[in-house]
Amino acid sequence: MILVYYRAPEAIRACLASLPPALAGLSFEILVVDNNSGDGMAAEIRATHPEVRVFDNAENVGFARGVNRGLAEARGRCLALLNPDTEVAPGAFARLVARLDADPTTGAVGPKILDPDGSVQLSCRRFPTHWTGLFNRYSLLTRLWPANPWSRAYLMLDFDHASTRAVDWITGACLVTRRDVVERIGPMDEAFFLFNEDVDWCRRMHDAGYDVVYLPEAVCMHAIGASKGGVPAWLIWRRHMGMRHYLRKHHPGPWPWMLLTDLGIVARAAFQIALLPFRRRP
């Protein structure tokens, strides 16, 4: 179990408290990779949870590099990623591991994820394309016209989220895979700082012939943003550069088309950064 931590003390306390019943029936280890949070939580976890292995990074290296450090230190046959702003239902990980063990062609499995109010979080989606920036979960088009067919397709709004099924990708907020899968496809791509690394990982699993499975019998609550706080301009920029890296990696094309895509990504990032002062007003 790998948690990459950054400045969310209340969230990770609740998360760690939820893990013993969530991991019931399994032999497990818990690893926390602290991305130079500087809030004293690494020392607190060592004192209050001596069974947890804590690793300190000298700087905030991002999610992918944090996960990779955990993968290098982990000793288990199965490898679980979990955000510190989650609380997992009892028995959830036994169900996820059982699904992995039942089919060697399954490369990763993720639970049904709920918002804190109990509503279903859109944690499995179809792979993004050059147009996804126009109709992702937070795009203006989706907000103004939520029933549009492009947003519905990408966000899988046509899926009841109550059935087990193979999907394109699942969020890295709660994901379980096997060591042999990681050894075959490699660790996360560290060119992603935060966001899109889970999409890329699932894409590489598909390319290697594995399925990625959504399993609603396992349940996890995810308070999105509890481990991010306010989104600064540099993180918006890094997120958009991650989008650019993903598209160039998986959807290469003629240079005029890629240049147009780059300009669109930069314009979108600039627009979101320009809106920050207005979003921060009370």
Partners of 125 in the β-ladder? 169
Can you give the pLDDT at residue 58? 97
Q: What is residue 157's DSSP assignment?
A: T
Mean of all residue pLDDT scores within the chain: 94
Give the residue carrying structure tokens 């203006």.
140
Can you give the pLDDT at residue 281? 47
- Which residue in 50, 1, 49, 67 sits closest to 29, CA to CA? 1
Say which amino acid occupies 134: L
How remote is the C-alpha of 147 from its chain's centroid? 25
Residue 229 CB contacts under 8 Å (≥ 6 apart), including other chains: 7
For residue range 216-267, list pLDDT tens digits in order: 999 999 998 655 446 899 999 999 999 999 999 999 999 999 999 999 999 9
Which pLDDT band, with edges at 50, 70 and 90, does 97 fall under? Answer: very high
Residue 141 pLDDT greater than 80, yes or no: no
To the nearest whole percent, how much of the chain has pLDDT over 70?
Answer: 96
**What domains appear along the chain, each with residue ranges and CATH number?**
2-229 (3.90.550.10)
C-alpha distances (whole Å) from 179 to each of 70, 107, 117 are: 12, 10, 34
Q: Which of 35-44, 111-120, 225-234 comes out lowest in average pLDDT?
A: 225-234
Can you give the pLDDT at residue 226? 54
For residue range 178-199, list pLDDT tens digits in order: 999 999 999 999 999 999 999 9
Residue 92 pLDDT greater than 70, yes or no: yes
Distance between CA 199 and CA 64 in Å, rounded? 12
Q: Check: pTM over 0.75? Answer yes or no.
A: yes
Residue 2 pLDDT greater than 70, yes or no: yes
8 Å CB contact between 171 and 110: yes
Residue 170 CB contacts under 8 Å (≥ 6 apart), including other chains: 108, 109, 110, 123, 124, 198, 202, 212, 213, 214
CB 271: neighbour CB atoms within 10 A? Answer: 11
Residue 176 pLDDT greater than 70, yes or no: yes
Distance between CA 230 and CA 210 in Å, rounded? 36
Alpha-carbon Rg for the chain in angstroms: 19
Inter-residue long-range contacts of 127-131, CB under 8 Å, 24+ positions, other chains counted:
127/168, 127/169, 127/199, 127/203, 127/250, 128/154, 128/199, 128/243, 128/246, 128/247, 129/251, 130/247, 130/251, 130/257, 130/261
